[in-house]
Each structure stands twice: as C-alpha cells, then as structure tokens.
Chain A
Amino acid sequence: MSDFDAFAYLESRRFLNSLRQICDDRGRLALWIVFTCAIGFTIFVRIVSPPLRQPFELHNPMATFIGCAALALVGLIAAIGSHGGFLAGRLDGSAEVRFLATSALSARLVGSWLLWRHIFGVLPRSVPSMLIVVISFGWGHPVQSLLSLIMLTMVMAPLPLLAYLLTRRLGRASVLAVCIALAFFAGIVATSVIAAHQPRTMAIVEPFAGYFESIVGGAIIALWTGSGAAQTMLFVLAIAVAILCMSGMTDLYPELYTSALRLTHVRALGKRALSAPHPLFTQRQSQRSTPFSGVWVAIWMELLNLRLPNIRMIFFSSFAIAGGVGIIDGLLTRHESHPGGAFFFSGFFALVAVFQMSAASIANTVVKPLWWIGAGSTFAKLVAWTLAGAMSVSIVLATGVFAATATAQLPLRETLSCVAAAFVLPPLIRAVALATYAFFPRAVDRRGPAGALRTLLTVASLMPLGITGTIAYVASDHSLFATFIATTLIIAVEGSMCILIAAHKIEGNGAAYAL
C-alpha cells in the first residue's frame, strides 16, 4: 500500500461525498447542472466563433505599471504569509493534522500534497475571472488563457507558504524586510509611472527605470501577446516555486495544527457580533460601558472586534490598500491618459467588495440563543447587524473614494457627495446579501452556483440604484448632491425591503435556520 494510495482514497471520497451532498438536494443539483451547462456552452461558442474584437494593445509605461503593481502585490502577500497564518488554508480543520500526524506517511509527501491541494483549491476561484476576461473581451485563445491562469496561480498561490518556509531558514525579520522593501519599491515605481507617464521622474527609481521598462514591462507585454517564450518562463518559475516549497515542507505539523486552530478561532471571532453575553441581557450595564444599547450593541461589538490583532490587521490593511488604489485611480483620472486603467482599478476593487459582501452569512449569529433572547424585534436586530457589519467596509470604501476624488482634484462639494455615497452603499449590499442568505442559508451555498447566483442577485439589486442615480443626475442638471439624496432614499427603501424579507424568513425558522 503506497502513500499515494491513502491520499487518492481521501481525495476521491471527499469529492464523491460532496457530489453526493449536491445530488441529495434536487434544487442544488438543478442549479449545478444549469451553471455547468452555461459555462460549457459559453466556452464552446467562444472556441468555435472568431474573436469578438482585436485584443488590446499594451505598451509601456502601462505594462511597467501593471508589472510593478503585481510585484508590489507579491511583496505584500509574502509579507503577510511570512507570519504563517495561512498555512491551514486548504486543511479540513485541525482534525486532518491530527490524523496525518498519527499516520505513517512521509512528512515531506504530506507537505507536497497539501501544497498541490492548495493550488488546485485556488484555481476554481480564478477560472470564473478568466472566463469573464476571455468571454467579455475576446482576448486570447481560451486554452492558452487557461494555461496562463494555471501557471499564474501556481506562482501566486504558494507564495505565503514559501515566505513562511524561508523564515525558518533566514529568520522572520530578514524575510519580512525583503518582502516589505519589494512591495514598497515596486509600489513607488508603479505610482511614479502613472503619475508622470514615465518612471524617470522620481530620483529614487531613475537608475533602474530602463531595467524596469525592458524587464518588467517587456515581460508583461510578452505575456499579454501570448509569447511562447514568456509562457515557458512562467511555467519554469511556477515549477521552481513548487520545488522550493516541497523541499522545505518537513516538520510542519505543529505549525499546521496551530494555524488550523487559529483559522477556526478567527472565523468564529469574525462572526460573533451580537453574541456578547452581558449587553443584550442588561441594558443598564451596557449603558455604563458603551453609548450603544439594545440591538445597537452590535456596533459596539464591531468596534470591540477591532481590538483583536487579526481583525485589526485586516481592517488597517484594507484601509491602506483602499487609499493606495484611490490615489492611483485619482492619478489616472487626472492625467486622463489612462481612463481605461482608472476604470479597471476602481472596478476591480468594487467587484471584490461586492463578491465578499454578497457571501455574508448571519448563520453564526442566529444560531446563538442570545440572539433570540435579546430585546428588540428581529427586524431591528437585522438592521443593526447590517449597519454594524457594513461599517468597516463603508469606512474603507469611503477612504478609497476620498483618496481618488482628492487626488483627481475634484471640487469639494463633489468630493463630499462621492464620499457620502460610498459610505451608504455597503449597508445596501449587506442587506441584499442578508435577503439572499435567507433563501440560501446553507454554508455550502456561500460558494458554487448558489454563491454565484447570490452574487448575481446582489449585482442586479444595484440596478435600481444606478437607474435612479442616472435619472436624478440628468433631471437635477448634474447636481451630485441631488443624486446623492435620491440614491440614499432608494438605498433606504430597498435595504429595508431586503431586511424585512430576511426577518420574515428567519423568524419563521428559528435558530435551526442556521444549522
């Protein structure tokens, strides 16, 4: 019996049992079939039909900017990964580590298997993005794009792991310093490229400008145009990263176990709003310690969560990234040389925010008896839950929008209107996510076709907002203030309706709804 036999058995059973779970539920099965057929049909049509239009032409300095931004991202990912907190990403909880630690399997083989499971676990999440690119823009051949995507995933997915493994050899401080230096330097080059159309404007990057343009920019252009040599190099890089990781994957059980426990802990902490014992029971006590009382202690709980190191790190990282993206966006808009770039960056991050928020679940809150014991109607509790949970996203989004509008040098009134609009949008998305959760409450529906459907519904729910905003903007003779008032009204009405629907569904089912 070989070591591979055990892994083959484990993975095949996991796959078959998840398939069995899908087949046991006819509604979910139908959703999967429709989703698979839709993707298959689209790929087929895309392969047999000619490209929709000519591919974009990519030149320097935009190519250098994209390459440097990617390098900055690599530095950031590696810096965060050097902490070791992401080791457990693809583990089936701490149970898996215990079973593996007791087994007679080679530790290196276990490590390598976890690495490949991680890579292939990340891939399905990237495939829809690739499909959007290939289908919408008619760029490249689907098979070629898929291969590039697989190789890019092979390079990027193991980065946190590689960074952590390097810390064991070189020390955490040195690895962290290198990663931060890379992120910082690449970020400066990327910003300077966009700020002045060429990288020579900043003294700090001047000596390297030519290298950046020829190496980084050249590599991006080669990949963009589908150069065989560039793809081969990417493949070699992917294999090198995998070999480096596999060579260091020994004696990792303690770190894997700790990481798995930490992941469980962080997930539980991230979903514990409204579950604190005393404020919901004793309003007097909550009034002494916080200005929030009744259902509104949810906001206080969110603020308390910021004291936790992991939550605080995520919040401030998002804050910094939003600010950075906003500045880049503002620069692109101000120079009006890369309007497509401005759209790409703001659009990309807005999509990420919508995807993340559309998967929101209240399961871990309603499952607790305290939720039901606490004072206030279900509707009021859900309103508080929606506002409290959206608060941090609102702050981050408003920061990004403020950075963008300020950098683009928009007038003060317009800047403030845009910031206010950014502040009220996340509660609506969260309210819609709550309503869709009420229809798809199972944890498995946060991913897969039901997850995609929830995202689609969330995006569709923004249409009334867009239509009203456009009408108000035109009717009010381009007044951003009037547009803001009209859209806020729509947000309040639509959000309330979504919460009402969710309250009705959840009330009728009790705590069992979350199980």
Chain B
Amino acid sequence: MLRVANLRKTFGHKVAVQDLSFEVRGGEIIGLLGPNGAGKSTSLLCMAGLLRPDAGVFTWNDRHLQADRGRTIALIPETPDVFTLLTVWEHLVFVAKSCKLAQGWETRAEALLERFGLSDQRDTLGPALSKGMRQKTLICATLLADAPVFLFDEPTIGLDPAGQRELRETLLELRTEGKALVVSTHMLDVAETLSDRVVILKRGHKMFFGPLDELRSSDGSAADLESLFLRLTT
C-alpha cells in the first residue's frame, strides 16, 4: 500500500498543496479530482520525486520512500515529452537498460508496442510523433519499467477514442495485476468508470477522500457526480 501523509508544497507565499494524506492499495485505482489549480499535478510530481515537497512522508508497504522514490512511483505526465533523438523502440531499450530489466523484456516490449498500435512507428524519432503517439510511447515505457505504483496525470488528453479505450482497459488490467494507480483527471465520467475511491482537491486542500458511493450518501441527494463535484469545489 502506498501511503501519502501530510504532503505540503508551497511556491513562495502560494500554498499549492496543504496537508494532503491518502493511501492507495495494491489493485486499486484512486481518482484525483479537482478544478484547475487545485494542486493535482503538484501532488503527483511530489509523489514521483520530481518536485521537492516542503513536508510529507511517503511509504510503500510500510517502507519509507526516500528521494529515489521515482523507482517505485512512476509518473506519466500530462505533457508527453520524449527524447528528441531516440526512436520509439530506442526509448524502450533505454528503459530496459536503465531499469536493469531481466532477460525477455524484448517480448514484453514488442507486445506493448503491438497493443498500443505503435509497431508501425517503432523507428520514428520522438519529435516526429503526434502528441497521442508520444503519450502512448511514455505509457509503454512506464509499463515496461514495471513500477508497483503508477501515477497518471490527465492520461486521456491527446488520445484518440481507440487510444482512450485502450488506456482504460490497460488501467483496469493493471489494477487486476495488483498495481496501485492514481489517475488525475478532469473527465468525471472517466473517474466514475475507473476509480475505486476519489480524492477531491480544492486550492490544495482535500475536500473528500473515499468511494463515490460514500460521497453520494453523505450528500443525501440523488445528484450526479458532476453536481456533487461542483458543489464541493465551487
């Protein structure tokens, strides 16, 4: 289980995330919801070790994660930047070498390319790929690295309908495999379909953490998720 405790991050006087605590179990998808500027991406970057938090403790299966927590927690960011001078396949080879993957990774890599429709693009350089293709490349690379925790920041943006469907199926598959997943999204239908529990943020503060049913029952009305979300965040 990944536990995030008392995460706090400020930029000068602006508080981006304040005392955020939640946990993700293996085989669970947490939806991270909130309006623009709520602190979703900042939280994910802090969790992945790409932003230095002011305070906060991260544990994975009761083991404290240090500065090198990126090896346990892999982030797929909203902006799919890739290496400018590597092809799709070379990205995967570099991941295999830098993550010291065991023999046989090539078969998995080939399967991932096939699954995400990247086989035809395997020898294409990063800048020549469309945004969706770059995103798929990053997803393949992260899946190949096989970290136990995955953070997805707005993963469906830039993907075509087939890609979005593929991604949803992949997320569900990863959940079945026992991975812990945190998915930040603006698309409430995606959150509703995928998430076991949700964290709702507003200006860096946690407004709700729990299953969607609990959110509905606490409200006592038969309102849809959109109405509940807007009520909490506006």
Contacts and interface: CB of A to CB of B under 8 A. Distances in A.
Interface in B57-75: 67-68, 70-71, 74-75
In this complex, which of B91, B100, B126, B142 has the most chain A Cβ atoms within 10 angstroms of its Cβ?
B100
A254 to B, nearest CB: 4
Interface in B35-92: 45, 48-52, 67-68, 70-71, 74-75, 77, 79, 81-87, 90-91
Interface residues of B, number: 36
Nearest to B145: A102
Contacts of A1: 97, 100
B101 to A, nearest CB: 8
A402 interface: no
Interface of A is mostly: helix
Contacts of A104: 71, 98-100
Interface residues of A, number: 32
Contacts of B86: 10, 13-14, 17
B98 A92 contact: no
A5 B93 CA distance: 11
A253 B49 contact: yes
A339 to B, nearest CB: 47
A230 interface: no
A56 interface: no
Interface string B85-129: 111001101110111100000000000000000000000011000
A97 B85 contact: no
B81 A102 contact: no
Nearest to A17: B85
A101 B141 CA distance: 13
Interface string A62-105: 00000000000000000000000000000011111111111111
Given A104-B98, A104-B100, A107-B68, A95 B50 contact: no
Interface in A1-37: 1, 5-6, 9-10, 13-14, 17-18, 21
B42 to A, nearest CB: 12
Contacts of B51: 254, 257-258
A251 interface: yes
B131 to A, nearest CB: 13
Contacts of A10: 86, 94
A260 to B, nearest CB: 9
A95 B82 contact: yes
Nearest to A15: B85
Contacts of B74: 102
Given A1-B97, A13-B90, A17-B125, A96 B83 contact: yes
The 8 A-B pairs of least Cβ separation, nearest first, read A101-B70, A103-B98, A95-B81, A6-B97, A254-B52, A6-B98, A14-B85, A251-B67
Interface of A: 1, 5-6, 9-10, 13-14, 17-18, 21, 92-105, 107, 250-251, 253-255, 257-258
25 contacts: A1-B100, A6-B94, A9-B97, A13-B94, A14-B85, A92-B84, A92-B85, A93-B83, A95-B126, A98-B50, A98-B81, A99-B98, A101-B70, A102-B99, A102-B142, A103-B98, A103-B99, A104-B99, A107-B68, A253-B70, A254-B50, A254-B51, A255-B52, A257-B50, A258-B51
